[in-house]
Amino acid sequence: MNEPTPRRGTMFVTRVPDAPGGPPAAVANDARAQEVVGRMLSRDAFSQWLGVELVEVADKRAVIRMTVRPEMTNGFGFAHGGIAFAFADSAHAFCSNSAGEISVAVDCHISYPAAIKVGDVLTATAEERTETNRLAFSDIVIRNQEGAVVALFKGTVYRTKKPLP
C-alpha cells in the first residue's frame, strides 16, 4: 500500500528505545550524551543550587534526582511550583542537548497532580518522544520517593544546529 508523501515540515521520527547494550552506534551516542550532560551540569549553577544529581544519561534521555529543601517552599509550606518547573526544565535541557548541539526551549508547560513537600526526593525522567528537522518534543515525569507522580512536563525545543561549547 502506498503511503502519502508527507508535506515539508511534517515528517516525524519517533524514537524507539534500543535494547540494553544495543548496537555500537547507540552505545557511542550514550557515551557522548554522558560526556555532554556532565559538562553541562558542571557549568549550570542553578541546577547545582537545586541539588541536581545525574542518575542516568543516554542519547535523548536523562534521569535526575534532587531533594526538596525548606528554602524551596511557598507560603503554604509546599514546594513552590517554580522549583518543580525548574527541575523538569533541567531534565529537559539535559535530554534535548545530549547530542551535543544547542537546543533551546520554545514551549514548555507543566501540571501538578500532587503536592511536593520538604524532604521529598524527586526523580525526573526526561525522554525525547519525536523530532523534526529543527524541533524536538519531550515528556518529563517527576515522581517522589514513593513513586507518586507529582508533576508532568511537556517541552519543545528548537535545534540550532550549533555545537555546545
How confident is the model over 28-82, as pLDDT tens digits?
Answer: 999 999 999 999 999 999 999 999 999 999 999 999 999 999 999 999 999 999 9
93: Cβ contacts below 8 Å, ≥ 6 apart: 40, 103, 105
What distance in Å separates the CA atoms of residue 96 and residue 107, rounded to the nearest whole number? Answer: 13
Residue type at 130?
T
Domain ranges of the chain: 22-163
pLDDT of residue 23: 66
Q: Is 67 helix (H, G, I), strand (E, B) or coil?
A: strand
- Picking from 116, 55, 45, the residue whose alpha carbon sits closest to that of residue 83 is 116
pLDDT at 18 over 80: no
pLDDT of residue 64: 98
Q: Is 20 helix (H, G, I), strand (E, B) or coil?
A: coil
pLDDT of residue 100: 94
Q: Which CATH class is domain 22-163?
A: alpha beta
